Amino acid sequence: MFVGIRQFIQRNRRRFLFSTGVIALVYFALGYIQKKFQEYQLRLTEERFQREQIRRRFEQTQKDALYTIYSLCPALNGAVFDGLNVEEITQALQQRRLEKKTTESSGVGSTTSDLSSVTNDNAENSVVLDGRKSKNELWTELKIVSLTRLITLVYCDALLVLFTRLQLNVLARREYLEDALQLASKKHGIKKGIEMVDHADYVNEQAYLSFSWWLLNRGWIQIREKVKHAVEEVFEEITPRYELDVEEFSLLLQKTQLLIEKDFPLSELVLPPRNLENFVIQQTLDEETLSTLMKDPGNLRVLVDETAEYVSSSSSQIVLRSLVATAFGMALHAVGEAGARTGGRVKLAVVLATTSKLAHEFKQPGSEFVGAMDRVGELDELSASVYSNFG
């Protein structure tokens, strides 16, 4: 029996060897495939984890940006209110009205009657008395300053939202890449100098964030002047008694916007010229931090130059227009509500009262105007583009 088996094996030895080889090959091939499949699954898991980390960091960055914007708004909007004091003009008009009532009730002679006729509520008939501005002049000033203040607030806050989003997304992307590099360095046992590099990067980032000082202290003034000139040109012939509806007011705002954005130096409004960069940094950083920065300002230069490119891009221009349009839409809605109570048309004086009320909403904590701007889709798209630019 064993002899027969041995003879059978000898006769079919090649077949057995071939079959054994095939089985071994299949075994190792299956093992290789299984290993590669496991590696593929692991890679997919890691990629999903990384994408989730990127998504979470991105969402947190946008939240951080909004908190930062809200913290800067009081300083920015406060400066605008101080520079465009509508309430002072309103008080002067109220004082004139009070003087008129007092004079009319005094019952004195013809001089009093003349004064009463001069200070008549019809602002068109006002003249200048005793060196003071006439009611007509006060109403004209109120018209220009009130509209200028609201539109300046819209543009200033829109620029603050845009610039802060750009800054924080640039830094967040940089932080993500640095974390990835440090993790890779630790895997290869490279630890030397990390703490020193971290401190230098921190100082550069603080200096970079301090550039918002320019908009808060210089840029807004340029915006105010551009807005004022545009408002004067568009609303010059419109009197406080002129009646208009929301559609007409919308057209006037559009004309004003076109004049403002004609030759609109966006980068000059949010970033200082190079010869003033050190001056801006000195306004916010202490001497020790400045000393550290001067030793290695290379990263700051990279951050500022990259941000300047983003600010000057057509994408930023589009986003700014969307932010402004969102705020103007809210203002038009408020004017429309005022018109609805009076049959659709309202006097410009009513519009001015509405714009004054809206302006004060910019000073409220968690301003609805800023919140609405922060939710603009184009802003999120630009932020995502900046954050994911790993090239």
Domain boundaries, the chain: 1-100+134-388
Give the chain's mean pLDDT: 84
Q: What is the pTM of this model?
A: 0.82
- CB atoms closer than 10 angstroms to residue 8: 11
Instruction: Report pLDDT for 8.
Output: 56
Q: Let me know: does 208 contact 171? Beta carbons within 8 Å.
A: yes
Q: How does pLDDT run across 129-171, given as a tens digit for each residue?
A: 445 778 888 999 999 999 999 999 999 999 999 999 999 999 9
Average pLDDT over residues 95-103: 76
Between the CA of residue 181 and those of 61, 237, 298, 299, 302, what are the distances in Å?
Answer: 20, 63, 19, 16, 18
What distance separates the 2 farthest-apart alpha carbons in the chain?
A: 151
Given a cut of 90, is residue 296 above it in pLDDT? no
Sign of CA dihedral 276, 280, 281, 285: positive
Given a cut of 50, is residue 114 above it in pLDDT? no
Residue with the bigger pLDDT between 222 and 200: it is 222
Rounded CA-CA distance 196/179 in Å is 15
Rounded CA-CA distance 175/169 in Å is 10
